[in-house]
Amino acid sequence: MKLSDLSKLFFFLIIFLNFSKLFAENEVDIWKKNSNNDTIEEPEKQEKKIPSPLLNKNIISTNKIIQEENPTEVSNALLYGIWDPDKYNFELSMWSNTDGKNIQKTISRINKMKLSETAENILLNTLFSYSYAPQNLTEKEFLDIKINWLIKNKKDDLIEQFLIKNNDFPNKNKIIQYLVDRNISNANIKIGCEKVNFIGKDIKDPYLEKFKIYCLIFNNKKSQAQLLHDILKEQKQSDKFFDNALNVLLGVSENKNTKIKDDNLLNFYLSSVTFPNFKYEPTDKTKKSIWEYMNSANLIKIDDITDKEKIENIEIAANKNQVDKSQIFKIYKQIPFDLNTLINAQTVYQSMENIEGRALIYQKFLLSDNIQNKLDLLFLLKDLFKKDNLSNVYTEYLSDRLKEFEVKKIPENYLNIVERNIVSNKSLNQQKIKFDDKTLHRSKLIRYFYERDYPVKKTQKELDSIYKKIKRNRNYFYSAKDVAVLESLENDGIIIPKEINHKGLSENYNIPESLMDLAEKGEKGYLVLKIVEIIGEDEVNNLDPETIYFITNLLNKLNLTEFRNEILSTALPLRI
């Protein structure tokens, strides 16, 4: 072929390719136009890009977000939590219709309670489900509520889960410092240093940087520690006390610090490991974390058993759970009494100072071999602790001693008081259940609520069978708990016998209008908080039947079956 022919062929190829490209572009443009021509239709299944909320971890179903929310309004929302909201039948918008100031007030009241196991579980699962912030609260303010609750209640495992599932968030340094301090206060430095991994490059916190440097020395990486320390000094984030302590630990110089620093736990810990002949006298103003560290590190010692002020400070710390309560009884054993005083202890103690009086009665108890005398002394000692507002020191000790007695040897007049003062280590859900098929809410039907994936067909057969037994009793009374069971079963698709007019029975029980209003507005999150507040410190089995009824009724209305089942499985069974 001639060269000229090749040139022509090449020319035509270029024209053809450009024309094809132009045609392709025009074809795409047809689909981009918003034409009113009915003959040109947009493909029905064309994908549309929808911005999603900014999640720290990709754990929430994108489809669920798209279905539930208007993406144009929440594309910049930041979500912080642990659980997918779908796990408990919540939505990302569970707080969106609620005034955040009301949530703050409710949480503030809840924080003053020692929640029961059930109430705390429900609160946790609600508060730490991923969601948008409520009205009148910024995302940071809502996050602070969550972080502060975790720290206040010492939920270390949950805090680690939160850190793992949320890469970056405001006040991250606060929650990591809490973890660090918890491990220092427990004298678990090795574990504390493992938490250094949570300190990313994004966190510039002098306290955490100092601890990171100390951990490098602890793990025998002194050259790296020296390098980081130099950087910290260049940034003017170090201080003279830390510089001196670090030089001691690096073996560069002797300790030049002249005063123990107790302004924070890290400085106090560094003092304890760098000061020769370390000695520190805590007072009632000493920080709780320092008390805890001294207790864990066995630094609490009584050199002078007559120093009543120091003993009193230790008693107060033990009552606040800052010091191991067994320390108090070890101190009491050291206080000397002569034989005549011990013999007449139950008369003489009244003329003594409070600490000596408690110590005397305690020693008298240890020497007694008669059950009646032992019980008399144990309950006298209870009164003496209560008198000085130190009951928390003694409750567990009393319970443990009472458990040691054989029930058949306990005098009859003490049986009830002994039973009331024994603290059970078993949760309700660990105790055995006794079924009674003559009473609906105690029958084997209730297995449906606490055995996961219990067959609906089997439940239907059991209901029909149990109803046949119950209807033979013409005097049978359907209680509020019975009605709660029937409504819950019906809510889940189980057919209730027509002869049972449970809807008529439900009219006998009132539901607070304020709670009903929240349910009708769909304020799931806030309603659950109010339920947690109602349960409070009581375990659910101690609530009155009417309260159990209206709680389960409300949870059924919002289809919060996980929480309903937790309530019923705690409230209904007869446990032995």
Cα separation, 139 vs 132, whole angstroms: 8
Range with the poorest average pLDDT among 196-210, 323-337, 476-490: 196-210
Token pair 């900014």 is found at: 54
What pLDDT was estimated at residue 225? Answer: 95
Dig out the tokens for 435 from the structure: 């079924």
Q: Say what the pLDDT of residue 74 is.
A: 44
CA–CA dist 294, 187 (Å, integer):
9
Residue 18 has pLDDT above 70, yes or no: no
Distance (Å, rounded) from C-alpha 159 to C-alpha 155?
Answer: 6
Report whether pLDDT(6) > 60: no
Amino acid, single-letter form, for residue 313 = N
- Inter-residue contact 568 to 492 (CB < 8 Å): no
Does position 294 have pLDDT exceeding 70, yes or no? yes
**CB neighbourhood size of 149 (10 A):** 18
**Which strand (E) or helix (H) includes residue 434?**
strand 433-434
User: Which amino acid is located at 70 in the chain?
Assistant: N
Q: Which pLDDT value is given to residue 144? A: 96
Average pLDDT of the segment spanning 390-410: 94
| Amino acid symbol at 411 | P
pLDDT of residue 38 exceeding 70:
no
- DSSP code, position 129: B
Cα separations in angstroms, 341 against 234, 345, 369, 516: 66, 6, 18, 65
Which residues, including other chains, have CB under 8 Å from residue 555's CB and lie 6 or more apart?
531, 561, 563, 564, 567
Answer with the residue of higher pLDDT: 252 or 526: 526
* pLDDT averaged over every residue in the chain: 86
**DSSP summary character for residue 373:** H
The residues, any chain, with a CB within 8 Å of residue 91's CB and separated by 6 or more, are 68, 85, 131, 524
Residue pointed to by tokens 């509520």: 145
Query: For residue 15, is pLDDT > 90?
Result: no
Residue 46: pLDDT above 80?
no
Q: Which two tokens stand for residue 59?
A: 């754990």
At residue 434, φ and ψ (nearest 5 deg) are -110, 120
Distance CA 360, CA 93 (A): 61
Of 17-31, 72-86, 256-270, the poorest mean pLDDT is in: 17-31
pTM as predicted: 0.78
Q: Strand ranges (DSSP E) for 27-160?
A: 54-55, 78-79
pLDDT at residue 105, rounded to an integer: 97
Amino acid at 8: K
SS3 21: helix
| Burial of 345: CB neighbours in 10 Å, binned 0-12, 13-18, 19+ | buried
Dihedral over Cα of 409, 411, 416, 418: its sign: negative
Burial 108-137 (b: 16+ CB within 10 A, else e): eebeeeebbebbbebbbbbbbbbbbbbeeb
Pick the more confident residue, 56 or 518. 518
- Averaged over 489-511, what is the pLDDT? 93
- Chain-centroid distance of CA 131 in Å reads 18
In this predicted structure, the answer to whether residue 316 has a pLDDT above a threshold of 80 is: yes
For residues 492-501, average pLDDT: 93
Give pLDDT, residue 311: 93
- Any idea which of 6-10, 115-119, 462-466, 512-516 has the lowest mean pLDDT? 6-10
- Tokens describing residue 184: 């220092």
The band of 468, judged by pLDDT with boundaries at 50, 70 and 90, is very high
Q: Which of 166, 134, 139 is nearest to 55 (CA)?
A: 166
Give the DSSP H or E segment for 367: helix 354-367
- In the predicted structure, residue 1 carries a pLDDT above the cut 60: no
Give the residue among 200, 204, 182, 202 at the shortest CA–CA distance from 192: 182
Average pLDDT over residues 310-319: 93
The owner of tokens 């609620």 is 98
Number of residues in the chain: 576
Q: What is the pLDDT of residues 220-244, one digit of tens each?
A: 999 999 999 999 999 999 999 999 9
Predicted pLDDT at 426: 56
H/E segment holding residue 433: strand 433-434
How many angstroms separate the Cα of 569 from the Cα of each of 139, 451, 574? 35, 9, 10
DSSP string over 249-318: HHTSS-----S---SSHHHHHHHHHHSTT------TTS-HHHHHHHHHTT----S-TT-HHHHHHHHHHH
Whether pLDDT at 24 is above 90:
no
Residue 55 DSSP label: E
Of 1-10, 106-115, 120-129, 566-575, least confident by mean pLDDT is 1-10
User: What pLDDT is attached to residue 266?
Assistant: 96
Question: Is residue 64's pLDDT more than 90?
Answer: no
The letter for the amino acid at 555 is: L
For 318-351, the DSSP string reads: HHTTSS-THHHHHHHHHS---HHHHHTHHHHGGG
Instruction: Summarize pLDDT for 178-205 with one digit per residue, the tens.
Output: 999 999 999 999 999 998 888 877 778 9
pLDDT tens-place string over residues 535-571: 999 989 899 999 999 999 999 999 999 999 999 999 9
Chain position carrying tokens 């805590």: 282
Mean pLDDT across the stretch 412-437?
80
Cα–Cα dist 563/89, whole Å: 10
Contact 447, 409 (CB under 8 A): no
Cα→Cα distances 232→37, 229, 316, Å = 69, 5, 39
Tell me what the mean pLDDT of segment 45-72 comes to.
41
Distance CA 57, CA 165 (A): 6
pLDDT number for residue 47: 38
Rounded CA gap, 115 and 128, in Å?
17
